[in-house]
Amino acid sequence: MASNNIVEKEPNPDELTISCPICDKEFKKAVIEEHANKCLFLNTSEKSKLKQNTVDQPNHKRSSSHFKDTTLHEKRLRISTSPSSAASANSQLVETKSKTQTKEVKSMPLAERMRPLHLEDIVGQKQAFGPGSMLRSSIERKIIPNMILWGPPGCGKTSLANVIANICKEQNNMRFVKLSATMAGINDVKEVVKVAKNEAQFKRQTVLFMDEIHRFNKLQQDTFLPHVENGTIILVGATTENPSFSLNNALLSRCRVVVMEKLSAEDVLIILKQAIQQASNLKAVVGNITNLQKSSDLPECIVEEASLQWLADVCDGDARVALGALELALAARTPGSALLNTGPAIITLEDIKDGIKRSHMVYDQKGEEHYNTVSAIHKSIRASDDNAALYWTTRAMHGGEDPLYIARRLVRAASEDIGLADPTALVEAVACLQGCQHIGMPECDVLLAQCAVRLARAPKSREVYCAMKRCRSSLVEMKGPLPPIPLHLRNAPTKLMKQLGYGSGYNMCHKDQSGLNYMPEGMEDTDFFHDDD
């Protein structure tokens, strides 16, 4: 009964303890507010964020994570407050960054490292953007036009784009974007246009460099049209194929086509020498061992002048091929491989010839070079230049041209240019075509060479070909319907046709004796064989 009369004592509100949400320590209710304000003041914003992230965790997890966060924060504070630690950390950061940059430079090909940054550094292409040219003047005034760079590989198209990128980097109102049609698609172009429209609001112009633009089909190329026309982007395209065949006429009308020629051997030699002088990691010089023995600081490699000249001649105007071959030759030679065990390695002409062969020739079996070479064969035959006909025929075969295609063009030349002056030439050309079909390459090479020389030495007559062209022109230029065939020349296989007069009066005599006219009415005096060429 007594236990029922016991009255439970209520706890004093001031004696209740509350956990601090910041440091997790227990404090009385009366002082918790004051303590919380001090905690907020003393602790950094980083530590308070870490505490807020752990509020919703269970107690045992929260305490362990708080201990780790606090320890990490204290370590950071000790590092930041210690001058020696800060200096060592900064030195380690700089050292790591320098090592990373060194690795990137070593892994980057020599041709990429030698890309120019200014117009003055570009070698060759004087007609396209040399001193005094309109394109050079506009680029020097920081005005980039819409243009298509057309030229063979390694002639400097990407190098010019690199110069434009450097100009855009120096200007606050221009930005440069580089894409390649081999990897990018329409969505990438749309994303660039979307960003360019936003940048245009801040008066920043976007220059889009599209490498290998000919790989976009005609429908994909239409994506550029409205944005190039309204000035949202400045398009700089690069292509190795003839823009007349590979690009839209609408796009060509909005861009200027810049024709870049193949680099000469002298230009490639200058680029090779600049690469040896400017690329510090190559540790090579141009010269010979006798001239450099007097110097106390010998390089690792010595490249002879003759080897560089041969390399410039054999690369076929492709600076990228020449720089890649030079880098390969220098990497293959190790210091101490010369006559002197401690001397530099000497890269002679024989060394480069032994390791680098002429394994390619610029020839596109479906592009412009394909048609240009066959055109050279035909025109050499027409001019009776047997030496040139042999050269272009052999060059086409060396480039991998289809022998049947060459043979078909020889058949055409035998009829078009030789014609009735030597009718047997057509027979021999057809025999050459059949021989190529039977034996194929490489056995049929001598058949093509013999036929080309035979046609070049044959007498020429274009009488039939020119007469055919005049006859075709008369059909095209004829006004109204074509004149009907005369009744006496018409076929009369049925009785009805005979009743209508088909074939009446026809005889098999010569035209001078038959008294008949074999031309349509009104064209009796027309002669397509008059010689006015």
Domain match, 277 and 334 both: yes
pLDDT computed for residue 82 by the predictor: 42
Name the least confident of 77-86, 87-96, 229-238, 419-428: 77-86
Tokens of 460: 């020429």
Domain match, 474 and 456 both: no
Q: Is the model's pLDDT at 340 over the cut of 70?
A: no
Domain match, 226 and 271 both: no
Name the least confident of 20-34, 121-135, 360-374: 360-374
pLDDT computed for residue 520 by the predictor: 87
Domain match, 175 and 284 both: no
Domain match, 288 and 237 both: no
Would residue 522 count as lying in a domain?
no
Question: In the chain, how many domains are there?
Answer: 5
Task: Give the whole-angstrom CA distance, residue 447 versus residue 321.
Answer: 34
pLDDT computed for residue 41 by the predictor: 57
Domain match, 246 and 276 both: no
Tokens of 492: 């009369």
pLDDT computed for residue 274 by the predictor: 86
Would residue 113 count as lying in a domain?
no
Domain match, 249 and 273 both: no
pLDDT computed for residue 295 by the predictor: 53
Domain final residue, candidates 227, 259, 291 = 259
Angle value at C-alpha 258, between 256 and 262, nearest 5 degrees: 165
Q: Which domain holds residue 431?
A: 368-461
Domain match, 278 and 342 both: yes
Confidence class of residue 194 from pLDDT cuts 50, 70 and 90? very high
- pLDDT tens-digit readout, 100-125: 444 444 567 888 888 888 888 888 88
Task: Give the whole-angstrom CA distance, residue 94 versus residue 96.
Answer: 5
**pLDDT over 90 for what percent of the chain?**
26
pLDDT computed for residue 478 by the predictor: 85
In one-letter notation, the amino acid at residue 307 is S
CA 17 to chain centre: 74
Domain match, 209 and 274 both: no
- pLDDT tens-digit readout, 364-373: 555 667 888 8
- Average of per-residue pLDDT across 289-310: 68
Would residue 269 count as lying in a domain?
yes
Would residue 243 count as lying in a domain?
yes
- Average of per-residue pLDDT across 215-238: 91
- Average of per-residue pLDDT across 242-259: 88
**pLDDT over 70 for what percent of the chain?**
74
Domain final residue, candidates 430, 461, 492 = 461
Domain match, 405 and 455 both: yes
- Average of per-residue pLDDT across 227-248: 89
Would residue 191 count as lying in a domain?
yes
**For residue 442, cis peptide bond before it (omega within 30 degrees of 0):** yes
Whether pTM exceeds 0.85: no
Domain match, 342 and 425 both: no
Q: Is the model's pLDDT at 296 over the cut of 70?
A: no
Would residue 12 count as lying in a domain?
no
Domain match, 480 and 446 both: no
